[in-house]
Structure 1
Amino acid sequence: MATFTTYRAAAPVPEQTLASLAAWQGFPTELVTLWREWGTGFIGEDGYVRIIDPAKYQPYLSEWFTDTQGAIPFLATGMGDLFVWQPDGTPGGVIRHVLYRIGEIRNIAPQFETLFSFLEDPRYLDTWLQRGDYTAGIARLGQPELYEAFFYAPFLPLGGTPHPSHLNRGDLAVSLSVFTQMMGRASLIPGQAPG
């Protein structure tokens, strides 16, 4: 069971969505429980990690990526990253950590309780989730709303420089769609070319 010291709730996830996912054989009960107990909202004092409604981004996944079969988004960050669960033929499936801003996708073992326990740990946020300029971005632009994020202009893979003065704030789905139009879709499976 996920436990957060600081949490700012936004809205519940619709029961119809939860019932549909819970009925899906092999879907992690830990995620259904997370949404039932916490809904959507901001984790930690700075709200860097957010629990999102999967229905908000799931329709966009095939626009942003290839190889999206069965993929369900469940977390986002204030710097535009996504956490997506996906079945991969192994028990429990896999978590994909998508760091769009640096063009990297990582696989994480589906140890949800361990992952959830780290989401308020400053060292984990800074090192593994690369929080970077998020705090400085809040000071300059205010905290992004639940479905917003900071992004660098220009995007880092297009020659942008990671610095707080280069951050913009906007809708996460729109910025990922623009990024995809400029850079092309990536495979959701690390190390696999889009196909």
Structure 2
Amino acid sequence: MTVPGFGPDAKEEKIKALYQRLVGWMRENRADYLQAVVQAVGERHGGWIRSYHDNRPYDNVAPAELYDQMIALRSVLAEPGSGAFTYAKFVVEVGTGTRMTMRQDSREPQLDPPYTAQDCARELELFPRDDGRTPTWLASHGQRRDEVTSVRKIDDQVLEHYRPLVPEAIGDLWSQYGVAYFDDGMVRLVDPAHAVNRLQRVAPAGDDMVPVFTTALGDVVYWRAGRFVFYDYRHRTSGELESNALVALYMLHSEDFRNEFMDGQTYRQVACRYGILDVDDCFAYVPLLRLGGPEDVNRLDPCEMWTHLDFIAQATGTPKEP
């Protein structure tokens, strides 16, 4: 795509310019790692930049101009019929093998205050999309969202192995959606083989205890002995959900259930700051609750979920059996 006022290499030039600015600032300020998230719809946007100096994280100490450059990439990277990204994550590492990675997609932005129908209309005016490339939340101007949003497919060999071990409704979800988000991104449908591999030091996960869902707060829902069981690692508690898969799915889709039993309101508060996380990430209390940390939404940070669960298990133990 040729952007007005720029040559055909505008995308590469703009991304390279951002990379050089980020690396230059990081070297000047002795930062070796940086991650940033931007969310936008219409002319509204939000985001954050976290940089690590001497292994200590600092939020939003980077110049505002760097954030502005990230937002500006929306226009540069927009494609006819596909629109512009509404979510992007940047990771920069300085040192051996200095590099920047960027991931972008059209996930629903979590803004405070929430985006409006007018914001959606403005987004489609600025960055028109074909019908087939317009996510439900944007096409409906925020009036509804997809119940399940696919992220990536699950390998056929994995499906062949795990489908007979879980209820038919779960196998159907895996076949149709693979790894996916439910609703607002709090509940995630996982790749069971990947989850079993990453949970080896956290739970006896495997054919007799199949991980099916995770949450953005680091919980795991397993299928075990004919029932769904819910493991809350941050509080070291667990409980049985249901044996009927359709009832369990209804519960996980229910905002009232998530609010009462899964800290759904806490999730929505922190998601307004950090956005909908990648499926392998979660929000973690720093310090851990079981080590005396306060249960304060301002103490929640995004992190790699599997490593975090491993750390919890080693530092404080695993949940008691239901």
TM surpasses 0.5: yes
Letter in 2 for 1:71: M
Letter in 2 for 1:19: E
Unaligned runs of 5+ in 1: 88-92, 191-195
Note closer, same or farther for the CA distance 1:20–1:67 as it changes in structure 2 (3 Å cut).
closer
Cα shift at 1:151: 0.9
| Counterpart secondary structure, 1:170 | strand
Describe how 1:140-159 pairs up with structure 2 within 5 A.
Answer: 140-159=273-292
CA shift digits 1:96-148 (9 cap, x unpaired): 10011111011122211011123232111101222242112112223211111
Q: Distance in 2 between matches of 1:18 and 1:150?
A: 28
Q: Distance in 1 between matches of 2:154 and 2:207?
A: 22
1:49 aligns with 2:190: no
1:176 aligns with 2:314: no
Letter in 1 for 2:153: P
Contact 1:63 / 1:185 at 8 angstroms: preserved in 2? Answer: no
Cα shift at 1:68: 6.6
Matching residue of 1:10: 151
Cα shift at 1:57: 1.5
Q: Distance in 1 between matches of 2:262 and 2:294?
A: 18
Matching residue of 1:32: 171
Letter in 2 for 1:21: Y
1:21 aligns with 2:154: no
Letter in 2 for 1:173: W
Letter in 2 for 1:13: I
Matching residue of 1:104: 237
| Counterpart secondary structure, 2:276 | coil
Note closer, same or farther for the CA distance 1:145–1:108 as it changes in structure 2 (3 Å cut).
same
Give the RMSD, CA atoms, in angstroms.
Answer: 2.0
Note closer, same or farther for the CA distance 1:58–1:30 as it changes in structure 2 (3 Å cut).
same
Matching residue of 2:220: 82
**TM-score normalised to structure 1 length:** 0.82
Letter in 2 for 1:176: L
Contact 2:237 / 2:319 at 8 angstroms: preserved in 1? Answer: no
**TM-score normalised to structure 2 length:** 0.52
Q: How many residues align?
A: 178
Cα shift at 1:66: 5.2
Q: Distance in 1 between matches of 2:263 and 2:245?
A: 19
Describe how 1:57-136 pairs up with structure 2 within 5 A.
Answer: 57-65=195-203, 70-87=208-225, 93-136=226-269
CA shift digits 1:7-27 (9 cap, x unpaired): 321011111111112355xx4
Q: Distance in 1 between matches of 2:202 and 2:176?
A: 29
Letter in 1 for 2:175: R
Q: Distance in 2 between matches of 1:59 and 1:172?
A: 13
Which of the pair has the greater relative contact order for Cα pairs under 8 Å at 6+ separation? 1
CA shift digits 1:66-115 (9 cap, x unpaired): 5877111010111111101112xxxxx12110011111011122211011
Matching residue of 1:161: 294
| Counterpart secondary structure, 2:253 | coil
Letter in 2 for 1:165: N
Q: Distance in 1 between matches of 2:193 and 2:302?
A: 22
Unaligned runs of 5+ in 2: 1-144
Note closer, same or farther for the CA distance 1:185–1:98 as it changes in structure 2 (3 Å cut).
closer
